[in-house]
Amino acid sequence: MVQPLDTLIETPSQTAGPYVHIGCIPTFAGVPGVYPQDLGLSPIAPGAKGQIITITGAVIDGTGWALRDAMIESWQPDAAGLFAGQDGADPAVSGFCRFAADKDSGLFTLTTVKPGPVPHRSGGVQAPHISLWVVARGINIGLSTRIYFEDEDNSADPLLARIEQRPRVDTLIAKKTGEGQYRFDIRLQGEDETVFLDI
Amino acid sequence: MKDMTDNGEGDAGPLIPRQRDMHPVPYDPDYKTSVPRSPKWPLLSMESTPSEETGPRFGHSLLGPLDNNLILNFSKDGSPAIGERILMHGRVLDENARPVPHTLVEIWQANAGGRYRHVKDNYLAPLDPNFGGCGRTITDAEGRYQFLTIRPGAYPWPNRANDWRPMHIHISVFGHSFGQRLITQMYFEGDPLIDRCPIAATIKNRSQLDRLVAPLDMARARPLDFLAYKFDIVLRGRRQTMFENRLEGM
């Protein structure tokens, strides 16, 4: 026998299920009036400094079908790479957003400010990115990934550098489709499966 | 730079890596929807960065007075929701056994008949006009939270030919870091459907599944009013940094 550890084990996850919207974005789900408005409607307020961008995409399953019931959360710093609450951070950037796949098309849209680079503990700098957390029916533990940008210098990013199979790096890079417009699809499985993170 | 990733307890290091075998398996043929929705490639494991160690904070001013009272928070005229009145309460802790104060906890659930107020739920059981099915609160300084609600009904769902969900309440917790984000479900002590549920069974470690089953807590029940169930939640912790160098600006 040995002494017991005094650390605890994390509570296990369970799927968010098909009705996650009732709990997280009830007005969107058709349960209005419980809260004044849904949490995380936008990660920015008017006057946010930096380039305003729109990212459109879909969460696609192993059969090629876009999920209609996925919910995504995003978290990011401001245009200078500062997170809400840090000294000097842009007060117009909360950095947190909740958005859902459209129930007819499966498309999601995130309008935000383009984030700045963020320091890494090792001393390097992470290329601009937005962290995502994807939940849905059939996803037993929320999936973490990141959006990087095609028109940024991603060459020294420590996370992207860790991806051994270089073609997979592309799954984390949003494609520019116009000025301030990007496309980013999340493929849960199959060809071009998105790199998901254990971080 | 102010280090807002520090939780004030000296645990300012990276997040403790997730023990994935303590969680459900992503792919489980008995839960059919997981088959096309589970990644096949291994996850990319890496030490957390400020992107995961920071996270959104929500103040108590977010909350309305009935936000954690699902019996009344959708009622149009003050009439209570139909069902067995229960108090759901517990603490949010981290893996270092420290309370997680001032963090947002959200719940959602079916009504007493097992029906969700959702356009895609067309189960035979009726909607309750006074029950919306969502609530939220923020933990106090000791990490405690509570909700007043009704016991949700069990309900059938399309999976195998005759699958039923046990009574359950969905719970979403933030913690103080985006990398702590967790959604799970609370089950009720004594429900025979737990052991028949393919979603509960995605957790292969029995003692971990047991941690999702809330015990009846008569000490917190209120006589002639409601029963109580206790549900504690443990989020990922941060590594302590006594012997770790921290770089300027981190």
Q: Do B26 and A131 touch (CB under 8 A)?
A: no
Is the torsion defined by CA of B56, B60, B65, B71 positive or negative? positive
Whether B187 is a known active-site residue: answer no
Whether B170 is a known active-site residue: answer yes
Q: What confidence score (pLDDT) does residue B2 get?
A: 38
Q: Do B47 and A140 touch (CB under 8 A)?
A: no
Measured between alpha carbons, how far apart are the two ends of chain A, in Å? 33
With beta carbons under 8 A apart, name residues in chain B contacting A63. 36
Q: What confidence score (pLDDT) does residue B240 get?
A: 82
| Closest chain A C-alpha to B160 CA, distance in angstroms | 14
Q: Do B249 and A119 touch (CB under 8 A)?
A: yes
Q: Return the closest-CA partner of residue A35 out of B87, B111, B78, B135.
A: B135
The whole-model pTM stands at: 0.96
Q: What confidence score (pLDDT) does residue B243 get?
A: 62
DSSP string, B96-114: TS-B--S-EEEEE---TTS
Tens-digit pLDDT profile for residues A103-119:
999 999 999 999 999 98
C-alpha B138/C-alpha B123 separation (Å) is 32
Among the partner-chain residues A35, A61, A122, the one whose CB lies closest to the CB of B64 is A35
| Closest chain A C-alpha to B219 CA, distance in angstroms | 24
ipTM entry: 0.97
- Name the β-bridge partners of A44: A93
| Mean pLDDT in residue range A141-153 | 98
With beta carbons under 8 A apart, name residues in chain B contacting A142. 181-183
Q: What confidence score (pLDDT) does residue B88 get?
A: 98
Q: What confidence score (pLDDT) does residue A122 get?
A: 79
Query: Of B155, B176, B187, B229, which residue is the catalytic one?
Result: B155
Among the partner-chain residues A17, A87, A140, the one whose CB lies closest to the CB of B25 is A140
Q: Is B184 helix (H, G, I), strand (E, B) or coil?
A: strand
Tens-digit pLDDT profile for residues A2-35:
999 999 999 999 999 999 999 999 999 999 999 9
| Average pLDDT by stretches of 10, chain B with 250 residues | 46 91 98 98 96 96 97 96 98 97 98 96 97 98 98 98 98 98 98 98 98 98 98 95 56
Q: Do A18 and B118 touch (CB under 8 A)?
A: yes
Q: Is B243 helix (H, G, I), strand (E, B) or coil?
A: coil
Q: What confidence score (pLDDT) does residue A120 get?
A: 86
With beta carbons under 8 A apart, name residues in chain A contacting B91. none
Tens-digit pLDDT profile for residues A48-62:
999 999 999 999 999
With beta carbons under 8 A apart, name residues in chain B contacting A75. 51, 54-56, 178
Q: Do A11 and B234 touch (CB under 8 A)?
A: yes
Q: Do B250 and A119 touch (CB under 8 A)?
A: yes
How would you write chain A as a 3-class SS string?
Answer: CCCCCCCCCCCCCCCCCCCHHHHHCHHHHCCCCCCCCCCCCCCECCCCCCCEEEEEEEEECCCCCECCCCEEEEECCCCCCCCCCCCCCCCCECCEEEEECCCCCCEEEEEEECCCCEECCCCCEECCCEEEEEECCCCCCCEEEEEEECCCCCCCCHHHHCCCCHHHHHHHEEEEEECCEEECCEECCCCCCCCCEEC
Tens-digit pLDDT profile for residues B198-239:
999 999 999 999 999 999 999 999 999 999 999 999 999 999
Query: Of B115, B168, B236, B238, which residue is the catalytic one?
Result: B168
CB atoms within 10 A of CB A6: 7
Q: How many residues does chain A have?
A: 199
> Which residue of B lies nearest to A122 if distances are taken between CA atoms?
B247
Q: Alpha carbon of A89 to those of A13, A78, A98, B2: distances in Å? A: 32, 7, 21, 11
CB atoms within 10 A of CB B207: 10
Residue with token string 């001013």: B61
